[in-house]
Structure 1
């Protein structure tokens, strides 16, 4: 088999295995293949190992995500192995085994794949396999379920020694097709890629079938009265009400993005009497608790507890959680341990409502939640045939504060300016609003695109990426209920809101005597009342989150400049401009900054100008509509046309950390209109 076929088979197998979360979690596990290629220097054939590199995901693995190492050098590594107390040093040794540029960085599990004498190896984290691996009598269950086809490996932290252990097991058990790794997962092998995949799936299915056939019907105990799932609308309303307070809890050390799920697995777990005991035991698989922390914060009130009572109790539980985590850290830390990374929970469980999970970004938060669902499935399986017995806290600590894990964190790129921030932009399906949403997403923010047109909002969000990046929602800013619903959707999508841009608007260009009462009311309902309602809803969430925030008004040059034939528009822009000043004065004590952007002549890409305003203004100034942008540019000091992107630049700057001491400011984005200079 040539190199291309070997790699193609490995990637195909990896993608199939990773596509099914019953086989392994996101970014968890690794696969490998061995083969031969020509050394470009000597012209001789050399044996190589292709293995999933550090940080990759099996379901989406590409060739660029593979590490490529020479097997002759890998097999020589045991000769220089300094022993288990110094096994971390062997990670650096992998660099001396790389073939050519080596591809992706080798992961900690590389030894397992290189030292096991099999052409193809899979290491996976299936729920059914981990259930056996974390059962109190997992070794006996392994023998009972698999006979001598699958061998038990006692818990050992991933690394070089574990690779040696599994290589020895493979050598001493020629009949075996794989093993159960205590507290961790499974490893399987085969002579061909197809055989290896089949062995992996056989172990997973055999364990799953055994649990289904022999497991107790209610492994989590009896149902707890009052802890069952609330009706969907009620639980989502309660989740939205709790979300800002929960984000405050998860963000006491560092602002976090959130994810909410009311998955049936979570709701069922929380409705049974054993959930407090099992949650306290924490997760076991290293991939799980590195994302979820060693245990969740669990609200110990029934589903019908009021929001007020729930918030009060959650604050008490948070204090206890932080004290417990600090005690855990202090118990096991020594002079070589990295500094504590934060004592806030990554998982918060609310009976009758669901689960909130947190991370530095939406993907990390979502995956943390997925991992805790995996952990619940593991607990269910282990409790159904035995009792759940995860690895002890000392071993968890050794992994959580592992020097290699710390080094991986230090290698991560510097966060973008708005990473971890959640923005809601009104009128964001086109023009200035869309440009702002696009820029904020590019700077790392999660973005909620709110617009009167649901379809266009969804399209604009999809252009920015998947739902980990942006979501599109309908919002009529003149309707208080729709505004509340929009913010509820935002906090359920991303955990909260940090940055709100009042951009929704329309323009009616008429002289005083032709402006009707209806024109006046419509203009003010959308842009004065609408901005007021949006800012009010945003401020409530930001105050509850207790991490500050930004409110930005897209006002106008017309807020300070008296032009002809636009009494309703210019008056409402002046209203918005003064809202900026009023709210900056009122909200500063909460760390909420309120600033304005004063654009002028933004014609290209503008929904307002395309909707008739452009034709009206062109008529007023006596120029063709298609030349209106050029006309506006020529009357400026810089003689430059203003585009939506220029307004987006101003929003990105005024909401960045560089200007975090600025509030109550209006920034002109008009290429210089002397008559609109702020005085």
Structure 2
């Protein structure tokens, strides 16, 4: 969008407001500014309104995230408004008000910004404002808190009529600087960008102070025996044990990525006597329950209940949740309602342990949890000064299954092949493992980058996009304890694991008589024993999830080809190759597919070759080390050098969906070595 002083001020204000979670939640709320610009058709000034578009986030908003509309045309829509029963039609009409090309699609709140007679408008979702908005006597409390400077607006679903309502309220209340929207949030305005921001912050901070001064000390009630937070170490271990089970339940209808938090406000809420009542009431702000669903699933057992008892109860509660959600849908659905999207919970609360949240990817899962944390703070504020009274069920349904929301979902791009899958790749800090991690992440997977070199693993995880997309774990695959911890990290970060790549390895290239027992043991400990340990832990977790899965071994052409002076390495690769067959036969009944990739001659970008094996193999073949890749290529049928990316391509081919009925297979990635053809 073309630079404009009004736009620059709007973006700066938006970023400041959106960067503080006390002001609004991620992607919640919207801001606007009105001003003049040159109409390129007439060369004359025209009035425009720039408003945050659909789906953007205030904290990171850029010019491309704004919609620019002609103010005269937007306001003229009031003359053709067909009434609240048909107000959804007005969203399409916004397109006829757009000025120029580019920018974001106008959001449902565009009318509020255009129709309110103020140069700058902010609509936000602060916890303190929503606490008053959801209090049983919110209108009375708003008057007590603000006098006549902030006006109460009864609940109305976002849309054109709400914009008309707020515009009328501003006109009728000349002293008002904003309003509390019942069940929803706040709106503030100002003649300048600075004044609008100051008014927004005044409402938020005044509401915070009012609740703090007037509120009771323990709005969630007394601590319930047996619901107190477990000690941190015990809490994390239990969360890691429960995470795969809960993720499997939450993925009954659609695959989901998970996220875990044991933030202090969550643990305190779950320890208190009122949490079952309040959780059952669900969230209220539209942004909240669109992400958290109408209500969470809450485990009703003591924090230290036996693990198998907790798992059994979670399964029972999940069956009841699905039945209740289907009944909620049937009670409220009309003939033209979108089909039910899924009956699984997005939020699962476990007293003494924490909160598990779910979504289509890592960010969505994390944000769902953040929104429920917002909801907890809203409940705390409302209960402190009154009682929590969210919008009624029918209104929640009208937003959750809103045709405009359904249209937004349909406009989203098709998911990538590995969307909602979680991969753990060993030896992923460099070489082939790094290439595999990159490819899996590029195709939508969340990736656990496992490597003995923690610094290298962390660098790869950061390159892949950070905590929402990748986490690093330091793992020596010869250590059962470290492997268990790595899978525990995966469970807490993303809910579990669906795809494991056994890639970690070394290579000791020596003739038989020069190979020591220590060489043999070290080679086998890392690759044969290490991949066995990783696969065993992967299988345990995948079976608990009940979602199937993939285990891929990066074996070698040497698993079937008798190369010279390579006894320890080649024997270990043959061991790995047979593990593929054995595990494919054993794990198939659980929907777990086990396959292998047999590379050869991966010199460039290979950690093993760079660590000295390249020099050893070059000496065996009598070529210069820098010519080894070319040497390997010349002896292949295709005369092409094999790179780490080619191995990564094979892993994707095995796990990306097209080979869904294939297990026990080894794919050669060697450019054609006839002596290594599989028989």
Aligned twin of 1:242: 242
How is 1:452-471 mapped onto 2 (pairs within 5 angstroms)? 452-471=452-471
Q: Indicate conservation of the 8 Å contact 2:236/2:353, yes or no.
A: yes
Q: Indicate conservation of the 8 Å contact 2:360/2:420, yes or no.
A: yes
Distance across 1 between alignment mates of 2:503 and 2:107: 47
Distance across 2 between alignment mates of 1:217 and 1:445: 44
Aligned twin of 1:372: 372
Distance across 1 between alignment mates of 2:657 and 2:505: 28
Residue 188 of structure 1 aligns to a residue in which SS? strand
Q: Indicate conservation of the 8 Å contact 1:596/1:665, yes or no.
A: yes
Distance across 1 between alignment mates of 2:500 and 2:171: 62
Q: Structure 1, residues 553-597: CA drift from partner, whole Å, max 9, x if none? A: 000000000011010000000000000000001111111110000
Residue 659 of structure 1 aligns to a residue in which SS? coil
Q: Structure 1, residues 24-68: CA drift from partner, whole Å, max 9, x if none? A: 000000000000011100111100000000000000000000000
Residue 506 of structure 2 aligns to a residue in which SS? coil
Aligned twin of 1:594: 594
Distance across 2 between alignment mates of 1:5 and 1:39: 16
How is 1:142-161 mapped onto 2 (pairs within 5 angstroms)? 142-161=142-161
Aligned twin of 1:270: 270
Aligned twin of 1:420: 420
Report deviation, 1:3.
6.6
Distance across 1 between alignment mates of 2:399 and 2:139: 23
Aligned twin of 1:507: 507
How is 1:163-242 mapped onto 2 (pairs within 5 angstroms)? 163-242=163-242
| Stretches (4+) displaced over 2 A | none
Distance across 2 between alignment mates of 1:215 and 1:151: 21
Distance across 2 between alignment mates of 1:103 and 1:484: 48
Distance across 1 between alignment mates of 2:254 and 2:104: 30
CA-based RMSD of the aligned residues comes to 0.7
Aligned twin of 1:258: 258
Distance across 2 between alignment mates of 1:607 and 1:101: 49
Report deviation, 1:465.
1.1
Residue 447 of structure 2 aligns to a residue in which SS? strand
Aligned twin of 2:654: 654
Report deviation, 1:334.
1.6
How is 1:562-641 mapped onto 2 (pairs within 5 angstroms)? 562-641=562-641
Residue 101 of structure 2 aligns to a residue in which SS? strand
Distance across 2 between alignment mates of 1:305 and 1:192: 58
1:316 aligns with 2:316: yes
Residue 25 of structure 1 aligns to a residue in which SS? coil
Distance across 1 between alignment mates of 2:579 and 2:214: 66
Aligned twin of 2:9: 9
Distance across 1 between alignment mates of 2:653 and 2:197: 51
Distance across 1 between alignment mates of 2:218 and 2:302: 20
Q: Indicate conservation of the 8 Å contact 1:154/1:181, yes or no.
A: yes
Distance across 2 between alignment mates of 1:510 and 1:43: 80
How is 1:279-298 mapped onto 2 (pairs within 5 angstroms)? 279-298=279-298
Q: Normalization by structure 1: what TM-score? A: 0.99
Aligned twin of 1:489: 489
Residue 317 of structure 2 aligns to a residue in which SS? helix
Q: Indicate conservation of the 8 Å contact 2:87/2:161, yes or no.
A: yes
Distance across 1 between alignment mates of 2:86 and 2:278: 34
Distance across 2 between alignment mates of 1:510 and 1:447: 35
Distance across 2 between alignment mates of 1:562 and 1:69: 71
Q: Indicate conservation of the 8 Å contact 2:475/2:486, yes or no.
A: yes
1:346 aligns with 2:341: no
Q: Indicate conservation of the 8 Å contact 2:27/2:55, yes or no.
A: yes
Report deviation, 1:677.
0.1
Distance across 1 between alignment mates of 2:156 and 2:521: 71
Distance across 1 between alignment mates of 2:222 and 2:460: 47
Distance across 2 between alignment mates of 1:221 and 1:243: 28
Aligned twin of 1:130: 130
Against the structure 1 CA distance between its residues 204 and 631, is the aligned structure 2 distance closer, same or farther, given a 3 Å change threshold? Answer: same
Q: Indicate conservation of the 8 Å contact 1:134/1:184, yes or no.
A: yes
How is 1:542-553 mapped onto 2 (pairs within 5 angstroms)? 542-553=542-553
Distance across 1 between alignment mates of 2:234 and 2:445: 29
Q: Indicate conservation of the 8 Å contact 2:64/2:102, yes or no.
A: no
Structure 1 stretches lacking a partner, 5+ long = none
1:558 aligns with 2:562: no
Distance across 1 between alignment mates of 2:656 and 2:201: 49
Aligned twin of 1:520: 520
Report deviation, 1:13.
0.1
Aligned twin of 1:402: 402
Distance across 1 between alignment mates of 2:163 and 2:66: 18
How is 1:45-56 mapped onto 2 (pairs within 5 angstroms)? 45-56=45-56
Aligned twin of 1:105: 105
Residue 216 of structure 2 aligns to a residue in which SS? coil
1:65 aligns with 2:65: yes
Residue 180 of structure 2 aligns to a residue in which SS? strand
Report deviation, 1:654.
0.7
Q: Indicate conservation of the 8 Å contact 1:129/1:185, yes or no.
A: yes
Report deviation, 1:102.
5.2
Aligned twin of 1:24: 24
Report deviation, 1:103.
1.6
Q: Indicate conservation of the 8 Å contact 2:636/2:671, yes or no.
A: yes
Q: Indicate conservation of the 8 Å contact 1:3/1:35, yes or no.
A: no
Against the structure 1 CA distance between its residues 575 and 3, is the aligned structure 2 distance closer, same or farther, given a 3 Å change threshold? Answer: closer
1:382 aligns with 2:372: no
Distance across 2 between alignment mates of 1:3 and 1:110: 21
Q: Indicate conservation of the 8 Å contact 2:504/2:527, yes or no.
A: yes
